[in-house]
Amino acid sequence: MNALIKSATIVDSKSDFHNETVDILIEKGRISKIAKGITNPKNYKEINLDNLHVSQGWFDSSVSFGEPGYEERETISNGLKTAANSGFTAVALNANSFPVIDSYADITFVKSKAQNNAVSLYPIGALTQLSKGEDLAELFDMTNAGAVAFYDYQNPISNPNLMKIALQYASNFDGLVCSFPQESRISGLGVVNEHINSTKLGLKGNPALAEELQVARDLFLLEYTEGKLHIPTISTAKSVELIRAAKAKKLDVTCSVAIHNLIFTDDVLEDFDTNYKVLPPLRTQPDCDALIEGLKDGTIDMVTTDHNPIDIEHKKIEFDYAKYGTIGLESAFGALQTLFTTKKTISLLTQGKSRFRISDTSINEGEIADLTMFNPDTTYEFSINNITSRSKNSAFLGTALKGKTYGIIANDIIVLK
């Protein structure tokens, strides 16, 4: 693949051309020249877009595509197309399909479905067999097949001894264990944050305590085992404090936060819109503020869309019975830019790769072209027309966003919306 990108502002702190507006010549999938006023040498495809900015390719550490088993929600093919249109060149795929991805063969299958695509798919294997939380899955075999981490998506491990053994066993091959932060015996049947709004609306509450107890437990287990832990999608101020203290003790822990937990509070629930039924639940403004501060000071290592397509039959029903989840790939960039500068937004969208054993790149001559193209300044209201996903369950519908993506260049392929 050969291309010439014209008049692009580079946003990449690792680049020698950071904040400069230049032309970028790509030949055979590699950046061959960066300079002002490059002449198109061999009539290559020319990319010349309004207010074009270019960064390293973005990464999402938690996406769900449904396939195999839930293709009515999303397929791997369309999911990767959605990711590309949304600016992501790499995604880590959760194991919450049917069957659950918990074996060598399952990892091989999803990787084969993603071959020859601009977006690189990195499978996360289930931590326990069928994600039931009873017996460890084939962690080492899945590592050999290409799994980058192990996680029973949104299924907490209730047995602390099982989590202890998982951390000890995975440390033999540098495996990354993920633990969903919820103590289910505390959360019970709660469907929203336990607070004033849950009482007003008559909905069962899921208290912040349920998350914080699990986080504290897992950090104690991590200290004991000296393992390697990732805590996905934290949502409370106290969780940030606990992880900050753990990092001060030099424990090998990282964490992420879902973008919707930064933007929305449980105040949006008054209309019982099930697009806002997410797990962990939307919390309070002080929690949002603490999460944002955690991103700024590095306590929280990465953001995720926690993209989870759910078919309409499981969303357009009574709130108590609706499934948890919102899609988030298409709205990620525009939502983050309502909270952070473009420089910080790009930093957040490119963090976390090394934790999931994904190679990092920079925008310099000689490097492989792994690029996201975007306009950071356009503003718009997010609507159904902005959704590429097969399922349309977005918490961001009707929300004012800032910044749009043009597409990506990755794996020797150009994808433009």
- Helix, strand and coil content of the chain, in percent to the nearest 5, comes to 35, 25, 45
From the list 306, 311, 320, 377, the catalytic residue is 306
HSE-up of 42 (CA within 13 Å, CB side)? 7
Predicted TM-score (pTM) of the model is 0.96
HSE-up of 360 (CA within 13 Å, CB side)? 14
Helical segments of 253-412, H only? 259-263, 285-297, 332-336, 342-350
**What does residue 177 show for φ and ψ, rounded to 5 degrees?**
-95, 130
- Give the separation between CA 255 and CA 231, rounded to whole angstroms: 5
Element spanning 245, H or E: helix 237-248
Q: Which of 106, 97, 203 is nearest to 145 (CA)?
A: 106
Helical segments of 68-117, H only? 76-85, 104-113
C-alpha separations of 276 from 23, 100, 283, 349 in Å = 42, 25, 11, 23
Q: Quote the crossing angle between the two packed helices 237-248 and 285-297, to the nearest 10°.
A: 30
Q: Is 135 exposed, middle or buried (0-12, 13-18, 19+ CB in 10 A)?
A: exposed
Judge whether 384 and 393 are in contact, CB under 8 Å.
Answer: no
pLDDT on residue 352 = 95
Domains of the chain plus CATH, in order, are 3-53+365-376+393-416 (2.30.40.10), 57-356 (3.20.20.140)
- Could you report how far apart the first and last alpha carbons of the chain are, in Å? 18
Tens-level pLDDT at each residue, the chain (417 residues): 999 999 999 999 999 999 999 999 999 999 999 999 999 979 999 999 999 999 999 999 999 999 999 999 999 999 999 999 999 999 999 999 999 999 999 999 999 999 999 999 999 999 999 999 999 999 999 999 999 999 999 999 999 999 999 999 999 999 999 999 999 999 999 999 999 999 999 999 999 999 999 999 999 999 999 999 999 999 999 999 999 999 999 999 999 999 999 999 999 999 999 999 999 999 999 999 999 999 999 999 999 999 999 999 999 999 999 999 999 999 999 999 999 999 999 999 999 999 999 998 999 999 999 999 999 999 999 999 999 999 999 999 999 999 999 999 999 999 999
- Give the separation between CA 15 and CA 365, rounded to whole angstroms: 9
The verdict on whether omega for the bond into residue 41 sits within 30 degrees of 0, i.e. cis, is no
DSSP for 26-44 reads EETTEEEEEESS---SS--
- Can 306 be counted among the known catalytic residues? yes
Tokens of residue 63, six digits: 């996406």
C-alpha separations of 250 from 160, 226, 236, 243 in Å = 22, 10, 22, 11
Helical segments of 271-339, H only? 285-297, 332-336
Give the number of other CB atoms < 10 A from CB of residue 366.
9
DSSP 313: G
Contacts of 196 (CB under 8 A, 6+ apart): none
Instruction: Convert 315-343 to b/e letters by CB count within 10 Å (16 or more is b).
Output: beeebeebbbbbbbbbbbbbbbbebbebe
pLDDT on residue 337 = 98
Q: Quote the crossing angle between the two packed helices 160-170 and 208-225, to the nearest 10°.
A: 40
pLDDT on residue 41 = 79
Judge whether 162 and 133 are in contact, CB under 8 Å.
Answer: yes
